[in-house]
Amino acid sequence: MLRTVLGRRSFHTTIINRVEKAASPEFNVESASQRLGVSFTTPNILQRALTHKSFKHANEPTNERLEALGGRVISLFAAEKAFQNNAIDIAEEVNEKINATQLASVFDTLNLESGLQYHLRDGVSSNVKANAYKAVVGAIYHDKGFSAAREFVQKHL
């Protein structure tokens, strides 16, 4: 593409250095569900929770909606726990519990990274892992309801 930059003509080239990664062939949704302690009834909901919006240019269902739902659910349960513990500043305690680093480390303990699907330049960041954890919680809430989501978050957060 020929483009003018500050009165000069130059060729603009972009090298896309991204890696598309589908779920590992060894990743088994059923065994992952068992490790999580959740028996999903909605088909492919766990795989959707592990699919980043960059994968296949969002031509497949992604985890964005589940992530938004899960983020609110986690915030609610973290606030509830802070309230029960008589925290002085509930908002501050909630923010400490739900920061990206904390949620990414929880995601790592669940051993779900081999199921992540993405197309990112730098691979999986802590933000991607945190968002995937939120999406997993959103999937549990959507599929199994309030009580199951509460139990899962209390167990892992």
Q: Residues 72-101: pLDDT tens digits?
A: 999 999 999 999 999 899 999 999 889 999
**Over the chain, what HEC string results?**
CEEEECCEEEECCCCCCCEEECCCCCCCHHHHHHHHCCCCCCCCHHHHHCECCCHHHHCCCCCHHHHHHHHHHHHHHHHHHHHHCCCCCHHHHHHHHCCHHHHHHHHHHHCCHHHCEEEECCCCCHHHHHHHHHHHHHHHHHHHCHHHHHHHHHHHC
Which regions of the chain are under pLDDT 50?
1-5, 12-15
Tell me, yes or no, if the pTM score tops 0.95. Answer: no
Q: Residues 123-132: pLDDT tens digits?
A: 799 999 999 9
